[in-house]
A and B are shown apart, each in its own frame.
Chain A
Amino acid sequence: MELTIWTYEGPPHVGAMRIATAMKGVHYVLHAPQGDTYADLLFTMIERRDHRPPVTYTTFQAQDLGGDTAELLKTAVREAHERFKPDVMLVGASCTAELIQDNPGGLAESLGLPIPVVPLELPAYQRKENWGASETFYQLVRALAAPHAPPPAEPRPERPAGQAPSCNLLGPTALGFRHRDDTAEIRRLLEAVGVEVRVVAPLGATAHDLARLGEADFNVVLYPEVAHAAASWLKRTFKQPMVTTVPIGVGATRDFLREVAVVAGLEADSLVERMHTQLPWYSRSVDSNYLTGKRVFIFGDATHAVAAARVARDEMGFEVVGLGAYNREFAREVRAAAKEYGVEPLITDDYLEVEEAIREAAPELILGTQMERHIAKRLGIFCQVISAPVHVQDFPARYSPLMGPEGANVLFDSWVHPLMMGLEEHLLGMFQEDFEFGNDTLPSHLRAEVPNDPATANGGSPAGSAPVIPAAEPGASADSAVPASALAAEPDGDIDPEWNAEAEKELGKIPFFVRGKARRNTERFAREQGVVEISVDTLYEAKAHFGGR
């Protein structure tokens, strides 16, 4: 256990909340002190849910610790049941409450409620959010589906002839990165190949849905971190096969279809061929070799990191120079993948370690989490988010899966654009000090008329190749030392303001493509105010005067 400022995963009860919030008719009583209610924010602000998580917090305070916290919990459970009338309840403790050792499960059991009450034992000092979600889902599935389990020795009956193969999609939760759209994409993909999707769980599932999980022919494990334990149990108990290929990227989606075909008894090759993809378009483009060999560092949850590595190397032509994950439950998959890509696996939940590894690897693109966004900004490297933990911008309004055919398109767009636009920005940055790109210069191939220059007065070309200053605007000053004559009042009584050194320096901080306008506005303001010497204060007063533009 360590102190840290930032973590990749929350405590396990947040994982439990993700399951409860994803489902319908579930209520979670969380024995927790005041302050643990912060977790609601994640769902309302980041994911923009239309309801708060279905959680009752006992919110015990310091003074309660001197009294009967157990009674507090029992009251909370009883009242939550009366008020919300859920189909099934979860009862557990947050990390802080775990220390009181009130045994929430046992206490809830003693109430004898007429609905299933599932106690959650989530050791907060040993496990984290993903495991909490996995354990909660497992316990719910087990509690609700087990009464309908066949006797252990009985083999699974054959699917009736003429009936379409069917499956459940397991794993999508609340606050899941792109879970909403991944689910829609894979559901559509499966239905297009003739597989009926019976239950999606936990996202949008009821207790009734979990009870009938055993009916479908097989289970698709979309997110192993959440659903592997439950799917394994369903396999042992209902003899349902599991499809475990995660369909992120064109190659993996094809493999996914092949696995589905085997399990569903369908013909694989035609399924794969029918799948539409933009991969041939971008991989055969002439410019595609711009992407070849771009060095990419990948970090996130194991599922997304490993999937991203395959897409990066095999579908974009990148070079994987780093691969890691923060969730140790799947460390061995990441280690195996890292071996395949010839890199050292980075299994850590310490973001400082990740930053150090990225710094050493010096990649051109980082594929990571919200924390890697920060790291990338600090190091000046392009970054794209491919995994939780994420932020508001990773729950877009537009349809944006990572899985399936459309997901592959999303990946291409989101990875390639920062690289290409990044190059453009880099070039702009490089050239902004060039004489060609000065504030008041015309492109050098255009010969402009220069006032008072005999050489150009009659349309001849100016002497030498020094930058010419167009006499386009009254009062426009040269960007070098102003001749004494310019300080003299113009015949119409206007004073030509002069920029002092600090003001010029401050002006230089303004992006060059708006610098000219800023200069002109400031000079206009100074002239109107009768200011002769433009200082830094003048510059900002002018800015305020013109409304900050």
Chain B
Amino acid sequence: MSTSGVLPIAKKGSTSAGDGEGSLQVHMDPSDQIDNALVLAVYGKGGIGKSTTSSNLSAALALMGKRVLQVGCDPKHDSTFTLTKRMVPTVIETLAEVDFHTEELRTEDFVYEGFAGVMCVETGGPPAGTGCGGYVVGQTVKLLKQHHLLEDTDVVIFDVLGDVVCGGFAAPLQHADRALIVTANDFDSIFAMNRIVAAIRAKSANYKVRLGGVIANRSDDTDQIDKFNTRVGLDTMAVFPMVDAIRRSRLKKCTLFEMEDTEEVRQVQDAYRGLATAVLREHEGYDCEPLDDNEIFNLLGFD
């Protein structure tokens, strides 16, 4: 929303604090409620733990009092089930019911409330091996925009599938403020991260998105991640070691905040809360150049 300036129609008696008696100014205050949400896009190699990270991050933010919308951008539509305790109907399935007339849909048709009030959307997509998943994601993002779902909320998290092979999957980057990359301390996920850095850099030229940081998942050590970060100029926002409770939470279909009260679980909960605080912190984002294939091939592992 573009806003600027104050409309000088104040009547007498107005004060600087608020509009004052008998006065109603028409003005736009950048710090006001009307500002759109903080939009995050979470990328990373397939299976690395983006959905786990996203849904627990959503839960942490909601428990802090934020209004959160999590959008699963994956034909697998398995992003939000720990929040809603079920596989909710996807946007594409709902669209098919109205013969793909998007005008007929309303938010209650494809937005579902989950744990701690987190609002959940699954874009869905075609069955494996057919159709075009990128198209579905791209169109769903447009739909969310038209229904004002990226406004009037505090945080939007796009949880995007692992192998971003076409432009459609990059659609969330057109609306995101920050892109976060989930990785582990292994060659393949860092190699994938490097490609994602390139994609985000390309989008940054025309859109407001910036890299927000790296999240290390399933990593008891982070030496390879640190090496990469130092080389390109990135920072790690949070580290989640190999914790069996996290694996079990997915099987139990619940968030970490609903698991048994043990020391291990409490530590992980704190880590997610820490991540939540970190994403809310004002930060100008990173401007990183990716490594070329040979550079990263030679960087990692050869200790």
Chain A positions near chain B (C-beta within 8 angstroms): 87-88, 105-106, 108-109, 112-119, 121, 123, 126-127, 131, 135, 138-139, 142-144, 146-149, 152, 207-208, 210-212, 229, 233, 236-237, 327-329, 331-332
Contact = CB atoms under 8 A, between A and B. Distances in A.
B101 A328 contact: yes
B26 A113 contact: no
Secondary structure class of chain A's binding surface, majority of residues: helix
A157 to B, nearest CB: 15
Given A114-B5, A236-B152, A328 B103 contact: yes
11 contacts: A87-B7, A106-B2, A115-B7, A116-B27, A123-B142, A146-B34, A208-B24, A211-B26, A233-B148, A233-B152, A328-B101
A331 B3 contact: no
B2 A119 contact: yes
Given A114-B4, A116-B7, A149-B33, A144 B104 contact: no
A127 B146 CA distance: 10
Interface string B27-44: 111001110000000000
A332 B33 contact: no
B1 interface: yes
Contacts of A147: 25-29, 32, 34
B6 interface: yes
A211 B146 CA distance: 23
B267 interface: no
A208 B8 CA distance: 11
B5 to A, nearest CB: 4
Most A-side CB within 10 Å, residue of B2, B104, B142: B2
Given A113-B5, A116-B5, A331-B98, 10 more contacts: A87-B7, A88-B26, A105-B2, A108-B2, A116-B4, A117-B2, A143-B28, A147-B25, A147-B32, A328-B101
Given A105-B2, A123-B146, A147-B32, A208 B26 contact: yes
Contacts of A149: 32-34
Given A116-B7, A331-B104, A207 B2 contact: no
B251 interface: no
Contacts of A237: 33, 152
A210 B102 CA distance: 29
B9 interface: yes
A236 B34 CA distance: 13
A8 to B, nearest CB: 13
A329 B7 contact: no
Contacts of A121: 145
Nearest to A152: B33
Contacts of A106: 2
A143 B146 contact: no
A144 to B, nearest CB: 6
A149 B33 CA distance: 8
A109 B19 CA distance: 25
Contacts of A328: 98, 101, 103-104
A109 B3 CA distance: 7
A114 B148 CA distance: 26
A329 B2 contact: no
A331 B146 CA distance: 18
Q: Which 5 A-B pairs have the closest CB atoms?
A: A109-B2, A146-B34, A114-B5, A328-B103, A328-B104
A142 B29 CA distance: 13
Contacts of B152: 233, 236-237
B109 to A, nearest CB: 9
A138 B152 CA distance: 13
Contact of A116 (B24, B26, B142, B148): B26
